[in-house]
Structure formats: C-alpha cells, structure tokens
Amino acid sequence: MAALDGLRGFAVAAVLLFHAGHLSGGFLGVDLFFVLSGFLITGLLLGEGGGRGRIALAAFWSRRARRLLPALVCVAVVTVVGTWAWGSADQLRFALDDLPWVGAQAVNWHYITEQIGYWNASDTRVFAHLWSIGVEWQFYLAWPLVVAVAARGRRGERIVAALAGAGALVSLVLTVELGAAVDTTRAYEGTDTRAAALLLGALVATAPVRNLARRVPRRAADLVCLALACGLAVAWAMTEGEKAPLLFQGGLFLHSVTAAVLIVLMAQVPGTRAARIAGSRLPRGLGQLSYSLYLWHWPVYLLLLPRLSTLGDRGATAVAIGVSVVAAAVTRRYVEDPVRFRAGWARGRRGLLAMTAVAVAGAVLWAAVPEPVSGAGTVDVDQLR
C-alpha cells in the first residue's frame, strides 16, 4: 500500500537525520518501522489463515528470508571490506566481533551484553543499527507460530487481538522495569521490550480493530490522522535522544500506540488526506528504498562523514545521505528485486547457490581479515618512572 510505503519513507528519513545529528528524536522512526512490520506481517498471516484455512509457516519464513537476507548479507560483506579499508582499528575489531551476531539475527542481544548504550559506543560499531533488524527477525520467528495456532477457528482474530494487546502490555511493564537501570541498552534493544511496538501493529491488523477503524467517517479520520501525525512529528523533534527517561516510562509505548492508530486509519479509511500525502512520490520512493537505505546509512556515515569535515555539517550530511541513497538504489535494483521477483539467476538452485556463495564469502572474509591488535604503543613507560 502506497501510504504505508510513504510512512516507511518518513521513518527512514527521521532515522537518517537523527544519526546525522539533525533530529534529536528521529530514532523513533525505528519504532514506527516496528509498528508497520507488526501490522503488515500480521495482516498477511491472518489473510492467509482466513483464505486457505491454515498458515504455511515454512513458506512464510522463506518469503521473509528472500525479502530481507540478500540485502543484509551484501551490505554486511561490503561493510566489512569498507571498514578494513577505511575504518579505524577499533571499528574493524568490533565489525569482526559483531558480524557473526548479525548473521545470526541476534546482534541486539550481543549489544545488550556489551552495554553499547552505557558506553555510548555506537560510533565504534558499523553494525550498531542492525539491532532493530535482529528484533524484527526474532519477532518474525515467534509471532507467526502464535498466529498460526491462535487464529484457528471462528473467533481466531479476536484471540490474536487479545494476545497482541496483552503481549504489548507485558512488554510495557518490562520496559518500565528494565528502563530504570543506569544502562538502558537492555530496555532499548531487547526483543521483549520492543515487542510492544510490533504487537500494537499486530493488534490493529486484526479484524475487530480494522472493522472499528473502517467505521470512522473520512472527515473525522482526517482530523484524527492530522493530530496523530502532529504528535509523531513533535515527538521526533522534541525527544532528547534514546536515553530520555520518559521513553521507558511509557513514552515509547505512547509513540507506538499513536503510530498504530495512524496506520490503521490510513489503511482502512479510504481517501484520507494523510494517506494521500504519505503516498505521494517522494515519501513513497524513500519508503520503497527504506530497507536498504537503513542498512547502508550507518556504515556510510561512520566511514564517510569524518572525511567530509571540510563540507561543513549540513554539506557532509547531504553527501552521506546521497551516497546511502545511491547504494540503497543499487542494492534494490541488483539484489533485492531480482531475488524478490525471482529473476533468472535468483530462482531455484541457482538462487540458493548465489545466496550461499555470498554468505560463504562473508564467512571467509570474517575468518581471513586480520583482527587488529589494539593497544600497542598506548603506554609510554618513561612517563611512569
């Protein structure tokens, strides 16, 4: 749906600006991604369950893998080479440390144990942004199982709605509890805590909520959408970074609820102004690039921005965003789309072979790239005497 693609475009733009230091609450774009994912995935699963009577889980996971893995593997491999060539010794060290966790779709838990937030260490890790990809993957593994079981029978969607709602509330309680710590990485990057956004998206994808939304008159929906969109914009502009205490005291949850209601109204009420704006060319185009753009932007920023200081803050940001967009467009055209639409080389055995070859290249690279020795020459013994 064009409008939801457009919302993705806004979300990725917010994240890009946040990471460039120009939008203090732009990280909330990731939360919007989560809500959208929960909504879309649950909608697909329920649609399949309603149409065929059962959900083919293996086929679902296979489609998710085809959609998400090729670009991720390519970006990861190129990023390691780029970090080897242009990154600092620390960045290379952590890239090699983090890469297996990226491949295992569990890098968020790795970063939690590393207390990446406590050390403010994101800019030493070229894969720091992939925590959210890990969260999504883990959700994609678990939630379809729940839906496949719960959606059976006449009251299936009601049960799914109840489970999603209850799960979101449990997740909120966990966020409040874990967010009270000095290191907020656990609350910020945990799959259980961020499940609130995914589950709220799932909740609004169920028939009871969709039917409710469908009954809202368009004019009223326009007004509500305007208020909700303004709410999101204010949150993105005003929130003071990922450690703002209010985030973990219900702030993230409130953002997710706002996004979920906006999404379901845009999806269910025909012709809303919000849907028309979100579905316009620029946000929609950005949204269609959003996955690859998200994958590329952080390593591009880390490796490129320090070399662009002569351009000034805004100039450097513009160039880094431009490079990220080009890289994303190339990835979409030559990797994502061929695999997704089963182009000749990406079909059947050849597709599997190509995928395996890139993954093996990544593994070989990981084993072959020499790990830098940190710390050599950092202590001057003469100063100690």
Partner 1 sequence: MNNKHTSRSRSPRRPARHALGAATAAAALGLALAGCGEQGSGTKDEGKSKTTSTGTKVLWLGDSIAGAEAPALGAALKAGGVEFKDSSSDGGGTVVDSGEKITRMISGDTWKQLTKDIDAFRPTVVAYQVTTYDWGSKDQQRAAYEKVVDTAERAGAKVVFVPSPPIKIDGFYKQHEAQMRTAPGVAAEVAGKSGGAAAFFDASQVWGTDASAGKAQRAPDGIHNCQQGAAAFAKWFTGKLGEQERFEPASVDTWAQKSWTGDERYSKLRCAA
Positions touching partner 1 (CB under 8 A) are 65, 69, 72-73, 76, 81, 84-90, 92-94, 96-97, 99-106, 110, 114-115, 118-121, 123-124, 137, 180-183, 352, 355-356, 358-360, 362-363, 366-367, 369-376, 378-381, 383-385
Residue among 180 and 326 whose Cβ is closer to partner 1: 180
Side chain identity at residue 101, one-letter code: W
Q: Quick check: helix, strand or coil at residue 63?
A: helix
> Whose Cβ is closer to partner 1: residue 158's or residue 366's?
366
Q: What residue has token string 């952590």? A: 94
Shortest distance (Å) from residue 244 CB to partner 1: 11
**Half-sphere exposure at residue 144, Cβ-oriented, CA atoms within 13 angstroms:** 24
Nearer to partner 1, 1 or 354 (CB): 354
Q: Please identify, using beta-carbon distances, which residue of 310 and 384 lies nearer to partner 1.
A: 384
Is residue 12 within 8 Å of residue 286, measured between CB atoms? yes
Q: Is 62:142 a contact under the CB 8 Å cutoff?
A: no
Task: Tell me how far, at minimum, the Cβ of 150 lies from partner 1, in Å.
Answer: 25
Q: Give min distance, CB of 352 to partner 1, in A.
A: 6
Terminal CA-CA length for the chain: 69
Q: Which is nearer to partner 1, 2 or 358 (CB)?
A: 358
Largest CA distance in the chain: 80
Complex with partner 1: residue 1 or 84, whichever CB lies closer: 84
Residue 124 Cβ, how far from partner 1 at the closest point, in Å? 6
The total number of residues written for the chain in this structure? 385
Report the C-alpha gap between 304 and 323 in whole angstroms.
Answer: 9
d(CA 100, CA 12): 25
**Considering the complex, what minimum distance in angstroms separates the CB of residue 49 from partner 1?**
25
Tell the smallest beta-carbon distance from residue 91 to partner 1 (Å).
9
User: Given the complex with partner 1, which of 160 and 295 has the nearer CB atom?
Assistant: 295
Q: Name the burial class of residue 234, with classes exposed (0-12), middle (13-18) and buried (19+) by CB atoms within 10 angstroms of its CB.
A: exposed
Cα–Cα dist 58/42, whole Å:
16
Q: Considering the complex, what minimum distance in angstroms separates the CB of residue 157 from partner 1?
A: 30
The residue written with tokens 């997704």 in the block is 340
